[in-house]
Amino acid sequence: MKTMILIICCFISHINLVLASEICFVTKENNEIIQKEGDCNKPYPPQSTFKIALSIIGFDSGILKSESNPSWSLPPKTDPYINVCNGNHNPRTWIRDSCLWYSRILTTKLGIEKFQDYVTKFSYGNMDLSGGVADAWVSSSLKISPEEQTHFLQKLIDRKFPISQKSYEKTKKIMFIQEMPGGWNLYGKTGNGILLDINGNKTEFQHGWFVGYIEKENRRIVFATHIVDTEKQNTYASFRARNEALIKLWYLINDMEKI
């Protein structure tokens, strides 16, 4: 029932979304396209969706230990950006609440050389970390397209990266979001950012991500949703991307399950 209410709310917001944004949505199973809409080949900064990569990096490097360890505190004089990121956070709440400062502590502890090594091993987008060890993925140098997001996610669920098996298992746990209809489970991450103009200056327009996969028994379907606002909006583009994806995933599951 809760899932159905959420889907209905998402559908209402979808009406306004399509009028003021450009949308890409792509789903794949075993690298085969199931559904694809919009331009999914243009790269954008990954924003907080990069936390998926950071989590496997963190667990593999040993900086992150478990869902609840380490617990770090918001550094003094640091803007949390959103109120829920005040106080202490651990890997689970870092992903859940999307706390940028936690990511920055992680990458700073890792160091730029190891950071670059992981990003290169993953072939993550353009692999460009010139924006800095603490900022490259936030409206900066590192960019990835929705298509490339699905390639990364497919390798993640197929466990194709040269990292420890425990890193995959722990990352999967903190990526879990909710149960979907038909016994499917949803894993993923949102990401929100400000679009830059040709000179690299911030505009008043947002772009937003929701990427991840759904899983049931031995079936796993990856997806990537990306929104580019063409008008100024008062809501986060990432929330609208998530809502858009939930609608489309519900219909996809409905077709597969014949609910």
Candidates 13, 21, 48, 73; catalytic one: 48
Q: How far apart are CA 42 and CA 40, in angstroms?
A: 6
- What percent helix, strand, coil does the chain show, rounded to 5? 45, 25, 30
Q: How many CA atoms lie within 13 A of 16 on its CB side?
A: 12
Residues 6+ apart with CB under 8 A from 22: 38, 39, 227, 228, 230
Six-digit token string for 65 = 């230990």
Yes or no: say if 177 and 3 are a contact pair by the CB < 8 Å rule: no
Q: How far apart are CA 183 and CA 24, in angstroms?
A: 26
48 is catalytic: yes
Yes or no: say if 211 and 149 are a contact pair by the CB < 8 Å rule: yes
The residue behind tokens 């379907």 is: 221
* Cα separation of the two ends of the chain: 14
3-class secondary-structure state, position 177? strand
Q: How far apart are CA 59 and CA 170, in angstroms?
A: 7
Distances (CA, A) of 230 to 11, 24, 190: 20, 14, 20
Catalytic residues, by residue number, are 48
